[in-house]
Amino acid sequence: MFKAAAIFAGLLAAQELDVKLDRVAAQLRYAEGPLWSPDGYLLYADTVTNRIFRLAPNEKAQIFRESPGGAQGLTFDRDGRLYVCEFRARRVVRINKKNELEVLAERWDGKRLNAPNDIVVRRDGHVYFTDPAFGTQSDRRELDFHGIYHIPPKGEMELIAKWTTRPNGIALSANGRTLFVANSDEATVVAFDLDRRGAATNPRTVISGIRGVPGGIRVDEAGNFYIAANDIEIRAPDGKLRNVIRLGETPSNLAFGEGDWGALYITAQTSVFRVRLDSMKGVVQYSPE
């Protein structure tokens, strides 16, 4: 169990419940990219200070890696390699267990990417990431669109979608056959079908009416959605709102974690929160593919 100050948040909408939230990290400038390691610790980024932190149970947070390129979205592949969306350097990198860094993506059609934001890797090694531009990032854009990209294990990077609106959080279904992307400007989630080669087709809106600007998203094994927007919205597989977790800070992203994948870690403006999913009745916990 993490040693942390406990606060309580109402779980509203379909169910009137109180859920215990632990604040496991605080005094950050802007927290992002929570990621649970199979080795038993949490990683998260402080986007302002260009650092990735490591937080293990019953320990204080430690600096895991300095990231001058500006770490944001984080993920692992099955080999334990760490993928980082570096929004300042405008690239996606991969870091192996020897701490060797490889640049996977930094240009499209000869032009620099906007500001890679969030990333996910399928079990078979197919990589997907979003490339929006927020705030001053828009002033230095070379591309005239906001992109969603696919990097296959072998071969060249592919452009999945060119949006005038901004894609943000990205997630896979438990079986790896559907890709979900949050559209921050339209307050929706868009789904794509994925084939065995990793190609994405059939874009369609599966969730609309999200309150606030949707950022990070996750999907559990039953198909329920967890969306960071004004609050954490928990939605059924058909997109209907089931519950809302209110934090007192605007959440940015979220991740499942712990040995049974039964906890939800949430990054917000200055904090990282933890809630056990088994404290939320009717919500099915995540399990990896």
Tell me how far apart the alpha carbons of residues 19 and 139 are, in angstroms, rounded to a whole number.
42
Query: pLDDT tens across 37-80, in order?
Result: 999 999 999 999 999 999 998 899 999 999 999 999 999 999 99
For the chain, counts of helices (H) and of strands (E): 0, 27
Residue with token string 């056990």: 276
**CATH number for the segment(s) 5-279:** 2.120.10.30
Helix (H, G, I), strand (E, B) or coil at 36: strand
Query: pLDDT tens across 138-155, in order?
Result: 888 999 999 999 999 999
Rounded to two decimals, what is the model's pTM? 0.91
Query: pLDDT tens across 37-49, in order?
Result: 999 999 999 999 9
